[in-house]
Structure 1
Amino acid sequence: MTTPVKLYVYDLTRGMARQMSMQLTGRQIDGIWHTSVVVFGKEIFYGRGISMTAPGKSHHGTPLETLDMGETAIDEETFNDYLREMRTFYTAEKYHLLGWCTTSHFNCNNFTADCVGFLTGGSIPDHIKDLPRDFLSTPFGQALRPTIDGMFQGPTPSPAVPPSVPPPAAASLLNSVASHAQRPSEAYNPQGPSRSHVYHIMNPTVFNSLLKNHQAVVAFFTSSTCPPCRMIEPHFERLAEQKGAAVGETNKAGTAAFAKINLDSGAAGSVAREYSVRVTPTFIFFLNGSKNGEMKGASVAGLESEVNFLLYQAHPPHPHQKLNVPEVRSISLDPILFTQNPPLDTINTKLASFIDASTPPAGRALTNDQLKQTISKEVLPYLKSRNTAPGAPSLPAIAATPAMLEKWTLASELLVSSLPLDSVFPLIDMWRIAMLDVAVGTWVSTSSESPLKVFLKKAKEAQDEGVDIPRNYTLVLLRTLLNSFKTPVLAAQIIKEEEEEGVRSWMTGLLVNSLLHQDANVRSAAAGLAFNVAAAIHKQRNVDGGGGGESSEDEGWQVELVSAIIEALDREKTSEDVVHRMVASLALLVFLSPSHETLSQLLEALQAKTILKEKLAKGGCGPNGVTKKDVRKLIEVTAAQFCPV
């Protein structure tokens, strides 16, 4: 069970810095930031020691901004133990506004960064933790410091200007109406490209948490007075970018966590003493929480060699990495799509006739006329703007707005519940076209009631009741699922879904049955969907590093897919295209799989090698077997390299 972690952001100048910083300093500064962490129903912050209150009830009032820092698997009791330890470091006398810029003081943002790092492994936004030193060192900044400290540590949020603030400019700033304080600054995106790859360790608690959450850790012990440290630091950061997980990514396969520990900073010296570090630069390498190696000095080649050796120990290469299988490695991972443009007016007319012939159930939210209006007046113009018929004039593009997609999904749900199964295919075909729009796919990935769920659930209910799903319903739904893999975020969501009753589960049931369908077009669409699934899984393995270590992949699900593909291959005697898609799917599912031993045993039990070789013989697929040279070669390699005798 996880708990959300929030960051509350306050501007200690209450919007005045945004208004007047440019004229006073020559720089645009949007605020002097105070932050607190909100977790387990409490707001925790640092000022006059570590304080705790109900969220939004501190003397700072309402936060200017609330940022999502992710979720934590740490329980409240463990976090309370952590806070008790932190109280020995974050004391009232150590507080200083310039905590980020000094070696002996702490501020609220130091504290919040440590808490977020402990809870999630992530970090607070750079624009908060890296408040420019040159601004805070100006006469204006120095003049503001006692006022800001008073505002932070004082009991009330009164904006009154203390006598120490020099008039007129600073006084005007502090007395200005805080009309801009509620304007949110640029939102922090923890997945953005600017994420750091280096953890800055402030105390032993955070470092121990890092060791606990990462299989491999590279720790760089440095100091501000060490010239060799400054020389090797860029190389350390380069290695972190190349071989390190971004801050907040826990145990990403094929990577290490890179940590910088400045012996001059706060309680970080305690970490150095624990590992007997007396000189800088020193690099210590950790494997599974224990010290695994050490290097002193600024040898770039030595550092790179030690990092590579640590990664080899932590993430041994997958045995398939040694295989010479260019036929598999060169398979294009682009999804198979069905992009044919249908006559939209014709399918809309057909759908309208089906709706008119149906009797709406009593109490339904929308009438038949309202449902037809939604399709014809909102959905159809959008689809036409994106799918101009050959020779017809192009139309201005219409965006798929969330409001339109929500209405369309509701209409689809109501129609599926009232129309016979064989009358729904025009509606699904419209969604099939829309799924070629990445904006639609992205919306579907975030929607709790997506059209994919609506149509797949209906198919699952029919299967459970022993009702034959009409061929047109199955075919168009398979093609819609094909197109859903055009949107990477939706494809990743589908293959990672863990719900027992959800898109992946229902899709798999439809796929397994469709691979054995008597209709060649259905089998072709199903084989294409199997390929899209396998390609998406393979892409994720490449992102994760393709190592042989632990993985979050669902072994049982992949066993089900491989079994279905082998059975379908055994039965497929006519379509070389279907055979090609299924063999490519099989190769991608097995290649680099963390469960390759289990899948190898399964392939042996199912006599996969024999089945694959039969596709090459006369009568195995057409009169002369598979004839295309590239497909024959792929079959031969898959049988020889992945299928035991």
Structure 2
Amino acid sequence: MEVQLYVYDLSKGLARSMSQQFLGTQIDAVYHTSLVFDGIEYFYGQGIQTCAAGSTHHGKPMEVIRMGETALPMEIILEYLESLKEVYTAEAYDLFLHNCNNFSNDFAMFLVGKGIPEHITSLPQTVLNTPFGQMLRPQIDAAMRPITQAPVAQQASAPTRPYGTNGTASQTGGAPQLTPEAKITGAVNNVTALRDIERLLQSATDRCAIIFFTSSTCAPCKLVYQPYDDLAAESGDKCVFIKIDLNYAEKAVGVRFSSVRATPTFVTFLRGQQRDVWSGADPNQLRNNVELLLTAAFPPHPHLSRNVPTLIRQSQRPISFTKVPPLEKLVAKMGDVGKDPAVSAIVSFIDARQRFGAMEAPLTNLPQFAEFLRKSITTLPPDLLFVSLDLLRVTLTDIRVAGFFAEEHAGATGTPATVAALLNHVNGLGASAPYPLRLTTLHLCCNLFNSSLFIPHLLSPPLSSTLVQILTTALLDEKHPALRASALSLAMNISSSNHKIRMKKHSANASPSLPSEVELDDSEQVELLASLLEILSTEGAEFSETQKMALISTGWLVYCADMDGELRDLWKVMDAAGTVGKIQGKTGEDRLLVREVKSLLEI
């Protein structure tokens, strides 16, 4: 998709003609910007707002700048946009420090890998650098706020055409009128045509379906209308519910279902094959038969019958390492390498964010910082490389930075380039890597899990393999307890994220995961579990925090795992239940946790 920057002049030409007189310096416009792609305009005012391109109350843009192309999937873009709402709230808007241009700059950096023109982002500081600018700041802010934070006008039914790069209305393109595909699950589909029935049944070949034959003159049928609707809502994506009124259905429907001679009649299908037929307006019978159908289509995992409340209520928030080190001392360690402009810029960003918060810390040039990080592999010796990784670790606590580095790759999919380069380098050094570098790398890896955009990459090859190797090498390092503790934090983040994706298949309204949401490869889960069991078997008799973290990670990793998979083969061969059973918990809750994880491993 092409990404465009719409540039507006909020002063409507007054800034160009009067700025020299009032401020003592010439400015060409009071800039308002927005990003436009796929016919939609995105901007910041009353929070993050959208409208059809070119239809804001600002009128015609004074300039349209082509920013570049993005191949990122729309679901990734929207997920990143959702995360920005924490920073760009309506209350946080500030004309001089936190405005629409900051939003456009951050969003553009994520979409196309570069910010918007500097003369736009630097304008507020240009004004504030003048004596009159400082004096008039409250008046300027008060005058502009009703304009910048005006509500979006209600859109007309016809899409508004976006403007071309010359500022004129474009003759091609526009806000697309999207017709969403009819939702076939989670609600009853009322149909009368045979082709629609066949289409719905075809959509259920990987699940189940039920047809309710009724008629407008059937009084008993009305007794099961509401229960049928309720079951459709409860079943979610697992089952397709169809209702056919035979008084209005095509004759071909009667031929196709010639065995239906009375109403109400119900016919069920399991993975495309007809299963059961029954008649009668009994809501209890209907519910029981639907539950049996769902059980046949989605057999429950044996772990779901086990009571494991202690394991389930363990916090699954990612463990992160957010402490900011003394930045001046850290940079000084790099010598001349630390004089790179990218380092100065990122240190200023970290300092501003730490002192004033994310809302008053505009993003720096992240592509420049990424290039510095990749070069640092060769410009810094191994014993000092931890410094550049530590700068990245700290900045990853900002959702905007994490989003940029998560999707910093060519094309719609791929491995985050800078993070992959750094982790591959450290992994190549293995156990010979200096201790500070290994520890910082583990902390950096933990912080990657703070962004949901990173997780699909972290659980997929090749990054998942690198991550597991770094983790298992540290887990088995008996000389450095801090390394082992940090590795267990990473193990908890990995197993928790893996568990969340797996459990989507077993939720009440199970739905197919997104293509990018996949569990760790079986071989990597096996490698991780083997290392965790090694920890559990070699720790001392006294229950420690290390044992608890390994135990929780083990529980999440095995819960609802494939009963015919390699992971279960491993825990059986290694007698994992016996290993866990020997652990003596200190408190009652610890002992319950041991008992619950052991019960999962006994299956």
Q: Calculate the TM-score normalised by the size of structure 2.
A: 0.60
* Alignment pair present for 1:447 and 2:408: yes
Contact 1:272 1:278 (8 Å CA) reproduced? no
Contact 1:221 1:272 (8 Å CA) reproduced? no
Which residue of 549, 560, 565 corresponds with 2:527? Answer: 560
Any idea what the Cα deviations from partners look like across 1:238-286, whole Å, max 9, x if unmatched? 43332222xxxxxxxxx223445677999x7645632335666644221
Which residue of 361, 375, 379 corresponds with 1:398? Answer: 361
- Structure 1 residues 269, 222: closer, same or farther in 2, change over 3 A? farther
* Distance in 2 (alpha carbons) for counterparts of 1:221 and 1:68: 41
Q: What corresponds to 1:291 in structure 2?
A: 274
Post-superposition offset of 1:581 = 0.6
* Alignment pair present for 1:587 and 2:550: no
RMSD of aligned alpha carbons: 4.3
- Structure 1 residues 182, 262: closer, same or farther in 2, change over 3 A? farther
Which residue of 320, 345, 357 corresponds with 2:303? Answer: 320
Which residue of 458, 463, 479 corresponds with 1:503? Answer: 463
* Distance in 1 (alpha carbons) for counterparts of 2:426 and 2:181: 38
Which residue of 368, 372, 392 corresponds with 1:407? Answer: 368
* Alignment pair present for 1:541 and 2:502: yes
Q: What corresponds to 1:40 in structure 2?
A: none
* Distance in 1 (alpha carbons) for counterparts of 2:244 and 2:72: 27
- Structure 2 residues not aligned, in runs of 5+: 1-51, 53-70, 76-155, 159-167, 410-415
Contact 2:212 2:243 (8 Å CA) reproduced? yes
* Distance in 2 (alpha carbons) for counterparts of 1:522 and 1:611: 23
1:104-119 mapped onto 2 (5 Å cutoff): none
1:160-559 mapped onto 2 (5 Å cutoff): 182-185=173-176, 202-203=195-196, 206-207=199-200, 209-212=202-205, 214-220=206-212, 235-245=227-237, 255-259=238-242, 270=252, 273-276=255-258, 277=260, 282-296=265-279, 299-351=282-334, 353=335, 355=337, 372-377=340-345, 379-388=346-355, 396-400=359-363, 404-448=365-409, 449-463=416-430, 468-495=432-459, 497=460, 499=461, 502-517=462-477, 518-545=479-506, 553=519, 554-559=521-526
Letter in 2 for 1:209: Q
Any idea what the Cα deviations from partners look like across 1:464-509, whole Å, max 9, x if unmatched? xxx71222122111112212222234324422x1x3xx21111011
* Distance in 1 (alpha carbons) for counterparts of 2:268 and 2:442: 50
Letter in 1 for 2:312: R
* Distance in 2 (alpha carbons) for counterparts of 1:561 and 1:222: 55
Contact 2:439 2:483 (8 Å CA) reproduced? yes
* Distance in 2 (alpha carbons) for counterparts of 1:451 and 1:430: 13
- Structure 1 residues 221, 210: closer, same or farther in 2, change over 3 A? farther
Q: Calculate the TM-score normalised by the size of structure 1.
A: 0.57
Q: Secondary structure at the match of 1:244?
A: helix
Of residues 482-491 and 220-229 in structure 1, the stretch that sits farther from structure 2 once superposed is: 220-229
Post-superposition offset of 1:196 = 6.6
Any idea what the Cα deviations from partners look like across 1:554-594, whole Å, max 9, x if unmatched? 43332221111112333334992221110111111122222
Q: Secondary structure at the match of 1:538?
A: helix
Contact 1:492 1:536 (8 Å CA) reproduced? no
Any idea what the Cα deviations from partners look like across 1:204-254, whole Å, max 9, x if unmatched? 652453143x22223345678888778855654443332222xxxxxxxxx
Letter in 1 for 2:547: V
- Structure 1 residues 200, 484: closer, same or farther in 2, change over 3 A? farther
* Distance in 2 (alpha carbons) for counterparts of 1:293 and 1:422: 70
* Distance in 2 (alpha carbons) for counterparts of 1:506 and 1:613: 32
- Structure 1 residues not aligned, in runs of 5+: 1-29, 31-65, 71-134, 142-176, 246-254, 357-368, 617-625
- Structure 1 residues 69, 336: closer, same or farther in 2, change over 3 A? closer
Letter in 1 for 2:601: F
Ranked by relative contact order (alpha carbons within 8 Å, sequence separation 6 or more), the top structure is: 2
Q: What corresponds to 1:129 in structure 2?
A: none
* Distance in 2 (alpha carbons) for counterparts of 1:185 and 1:259: 31
* Distance in 2 (alpha carbons) for counterparts of 1:67 and 1:576: 44
* Distance in 1 (alpha carbons) for counterparts of 2:180 and 2:545: 43
Post-superposition offset of 1:373 = 0.7
* Distance in 1 (alpha carbons) for counterparts of 2:332 and 2:563: 50
Q: What corresponds to 2:56 in structure 1?
A: none
* Distance in 2 (alpha carbons) for counterparts of 1:343 and 1:632: 42
- Structure 1 residues 444, 262: closer, same or farther in 2, change over 3 A? farther
Q: Secondary structure at the match of 1:595?
A: coil
Letter in 2 for 1:476: T
* Distance in 1 (alpha carbons) for counterparts of 2:362 and 2:190: 43
* Distance in 1 (alpha carbons) for counterparts of 2:190 and 2:378: 56
Letter in 2 for 1:513: T
